[in-house]
Amino acid sequence: MKHAIAKLNRFSHPIEQVFLMAFTCIVLICLTYKALDSHKIFDAYPHILKIENAQKQLLTPIKTGFFLRNFIDFDMPKNDFLFEGIVWFVFDPKQVSQDVIEKFSFNKGEILKDGLIANRTSMLKQEMPDGNTFVRYDVRVKFTSNLNYHFFPIDSHKLSIVLNNKFLDANKFYFDIDKSQAVFSDSLFTPGWTRINEDVETGYGKTVLNKANPELNSIFPRAIFTMDFVTSSFRDILLIFLPLFVVFFLSLFVFSFNPHNKDIILGISASVVPAILGYRFVIETMSPKVSYFILSDHIFTMFLILAFLLFFMNTFYIEKLKNYHGILILIFHGLLILSWTYLLFFWR
């Protein structure tokens, strides 16, 4: 037993600690990459009521298309987006007027023109041989989406662009769209994020004005264009977590000191907790502003608890534990790996 403890205690030497830190970092990086590949998306899908095929036979279709040219602003942590694109419609002018068609809007967004809110956008009109009218609107739209930052900073997201026309009656009209009419440019400017999927869904939305009197409520055509994104940069993850790892690993080096150097050991242990607490303000500036706990909050709490345990042991049990430093180092590395695994794969 004593021989086994002696062999494990070799991990208290600085060189062995460096190798152990490298091993732990490799394991944590592999776990993080695996979590990124799982593409966990917690974003709420916008509300839409589906139109049955039998019901569509009784409605007038308004052929609709959407082209997303590029993002001018793309800030996922701040939920702030601005894009340039084209919305077009083909409709029967005998059934609906162009004035009603051009009153389309975007959910949680505003149509801009030269940075100012505009009632109209640039428009191209063309009469079709079959008597229908084609209109194209070049738009600049500033919007937010239903993002959930539960897994920040290794989160994936579903970005939703919701097209409405609240001046059309969904009892008479619907947006006729398929995937070929929803085009997303291959050169979208999405720094730090990679688009892995896109989709489109049509139906109708509902405005409830009076729950007791449904006749006052209204329904209108709605189309939802979605894009799935995964983070493609390790930069933000390193910027947030690397200082925490550095402080924590440095604090483990106190087990390499002679227990008689109690003042030095206590000084280092006592400085670790306030260092981690102070770094909390840096994490806060980089994190999205939400009211619920996110992954970075729990990882910060994990490091704070481990640092406090180190401080507690070095303050009250430094002499009693002097023959078990190597074992303690292995235990703390094991706790770090197990906690990381739990937070990435089992915590919800």
60: Cα within 13 Å, side-chain hemisphere? 13
Choose the weakest-confidence range: 11-15, 274-278, 327-331: 11-15
Average pLDDT, the chain: 87
pLDDT at 48 over 80: yes
> Which fold would CATH assign to domain 53-231?
Acetylcholine Binding Protein; Chain: A, (2.70.170)
Residues 157-194: tens digit of each pLDDT: 999 999 999 999 999 999 999 889 999 998 899 999 99
d(Cα 108, Cα 142) in Å, to the nearest integer? 9
Q: Token pair for residue 241?
A: 């977590």
Higher pLDDT, 204 or 270: 204
pLDDT at 317 over 70: no
Q: Beta partners for 139?
A: 85
**Given this model, what pLDDT does residue 312 score?**
83
Higher pLDDT, 281 or 2: 281
Q: Where are the domains of the chain?
A: 2-37+235-345, 53-231
d(Cα 245, Cα 27) in Å, to the nearest integer? 13
**Given this model, what pLDDT does residue 325 score?**
75
Closest CA to 219 of 160, 176, 146, 165: 165
Residues 66-96: tens digit of each pLDDT: 999 999 999 999 999 999 999 999 999 999 9
Helix (H, G, I), strand (E, B) or coil at 183: strand
Residues 149-161: tens digit of each pLDDT: 999 999 999 999 9
Torsion of Cα atoms, 147 then 211 then 202 then 91, to 10° = -130
Higher pLDDT, 67 or 116: 67
Q: What is the mean pLDDT of residues 265-283?
A: 84
**Given this model, what pLDDT does residue 315 score?**
74
pLDDT at 230 over 70: yes
**Given this model, what pLDDT does residue 11 score?**
53
pTM of the model: 0.86
Alpha helices per DSSP H over the chain = 2-8, 14-37, 53-56, 98-101, 235-252, 262-286, 295-316, 325-345
**Given this model, what pLDDT does residue 118 score?**
46
Q: What is the mean pLDDT of residues 273-293?
A: 91
- Measured in whole angstroms, the distance separating CA 305 from the mean position of its chain's CA atoms is 26
Q: What is the mean pLDDT of residues 17-36?
A: 91
d(Cα 118, Cα 110) in Å, to the nearest integer? 9
Q: Checking DSSP bridges between strand 80-91 and strand 133-143, what pairing results, if any?
A: antiparallel
Q: What is the percent of the chain with per-residue pLDDT over 90, rounded to a whole number?
A: 58
Q: What is the mean pLDDT of residues 310-329?
A: 75
d(Cα 191, Cα 9) in Å, to the nearest integer? 47
pLDDT at 306 over 80: yes
Residue length, the chain? 348
